[in-house]
Amino acid sequence: MNAIISASELASELAGGNPPVLLDVRWQLSVAKTAGEPPFDGRAAYLAGHLPGAVFVDLDRELASEPGERGRHPLPDLGVFGAAMRRAGVSRGRAVVVYDGGLGWGAARAWWLLRWTGHPDVRVLDGGLPSWEGALETSVPRPVEGDFEPVPAVSGLLDADGAGALARSGVLLDARAGERYRGEVEPIDRVGGHIPGAVSAPTTENVGADGRFRPAEELAARFKELGVSEGTRVGVYCGSGVSGAHEVLALAVAGIPAELYVGSWSEWSSDPERPVAVGPDPQ
């Protein structure tokens, strides 16, 4: 099953007899607080206009738990996550389409969590809200309660030790910007650099100027250049498990299964005992 859906395909499905559940996960990593500006408000953006029937999902509160030793966006409490999904009308027997403001990171986090906890049919709107040419609405829907009960998979998730080991035994991709990987700048976490052995693979290079994913064959070629071959075990991390989910999504578009280190650099770098590599060389 394709992990993404185009705006035209979504419009057709919404007009059909069994339309998908729509989740609006608009979110931005905001460092505006340091400049005295208010952070991005995804709910306000949703209320100003969203796809018809879409329900807002709060990434910070419903797709993650409180920041701490496990990183800035640790896995959510499954009770909280499941309740949020059911409130939005999510059921196992009904398709789900997730979108955000166009960057794709927030939508990918919801896609990954739903897939990892057992939902069989989840896709991301390719290009997000900017790709939608239909009307928007401002009313808040009240969908029928869904029946989805999240059950974590036994695979697909890496912890810190697993990520460090995979960087030596397989391919661990670092989805952050190259300058953060190299340790030249670090605007958020305790120290800059990367997990020793990880390969720099900015997720921004998986999409075109319009925010849509590059064709599957181009993505497959990109990942092959980064060391991913048939049978390679692949993992991904980023700053806090959000943009990394977007890279896992890109890998899925290319037909490559991958695991996500949710704690990512925000967890890894918080422990001064863990090794840190700097510069362009993985080691």
- Report the C-alpha gap between 79 and 60 in whole angstroms: 15
Q: Six-digit token pair at 155?
A: 């695979």
Report which residue type is found at 143: P
Pairing of strands 55-56, 21-24: parallel
Supply the angle between the helices 216-225 and 243-253 in degrees, to the nearest 10: 110
Residues 232, 171: contact at Cβ < 8 Å?
Answer: yes
- Four-residue CA torsion sign, 43, 3, 114, 207: negative
Integer distance in angstroms from the first to the last C-alpha of the chain? 36
- Report the C-alpha gap between 224 and 271 in whole angstroms: 32
Q: Say which of 23, 160, 201, 238 is annotated catalytic.
A: 238
Q: Six-digit token pair at 102?
A: 């166009």
The residues pairing with 23 across neighbouring beta strands, listed in sequence order, are 55, 98
Q: Six-digit token pair at 145?
A: 């309660």
Q: Is 139 annotated as catalytic? A: no
Report which residue type is found at 97: V
- Which of 269, 228, 276 lies closest to 251, judged by CA? 228
Burial class (CB within 10 angstroms; exposed 0-12, middle 13-18, buried 19+) of 151: exposed
How many CA atoms, within 13 angstroms, populate the side-chain half-sphere of residue 119?
A: 31
Catalytic residue set: 238
